[in-house]
Amino acid sequence: QQPVQSPQAVILREGEDAVINCSSSKALYSVHWYRQKHGEAPVFLMILLKGGEQKGHDKISASFNEKKQQSSLYLTASQLSYSGTYFCGTEYSNDMRFGAGTRLTVKP
């Protein structure tokens, strides 16, 4: 079963912050985050392998709450280049399921 993402879409002004959530009805062993720009392939952002883990690079970070079976992606001080569709993925034993995606639009 694929994870559930929310919101489905977000529109921001440059410099604003956003949070994208990912939850699963099944136990989560790892959570992946990817970004896909229009007409391109999804690109890896980060992976969280255990509960309580938090990661980040640049102004994008993520947390993983194993108990609540959810992960969140935080985008701070958004830039135009952040626009795209964000997918979370949950993997177990060579079986990776993606959420339906969150379309993020950053406007000047």
Partner 1 sequence: DTAVSQTPKYLVTQMGNDKSIKCEQNLGHDTMYWYKQDSKKFLKIMFSYNNKELIINETVPNRFSPKSPDKAHLNLHINSLELGDSAVYFCASSPRDRAFTFGSGTRLTVV
Residues at the site binding partner 1, with contacts judged by CB under 8 A: 30, 32, 34, 36, 40-44, 47, 49, 85, 87, 89, 91, 93-98, 100-101, 103
Rg of the chain, C-alpha, whole Å: 13
Nearest-approach distance from CB 31 to partner 1, in angstroms:
11
Nearer to partner 1, 63 or 85 (CB): 85
What is the C-alpha separation between 44 and 17, in angstroms, rounded?
20
Nearest-approach distance from CB 15 to partner 1, in angstroms:
26
One-letter amino acid of 65? N
Q: What residues form DSSP beta bridges with 96? A: 91
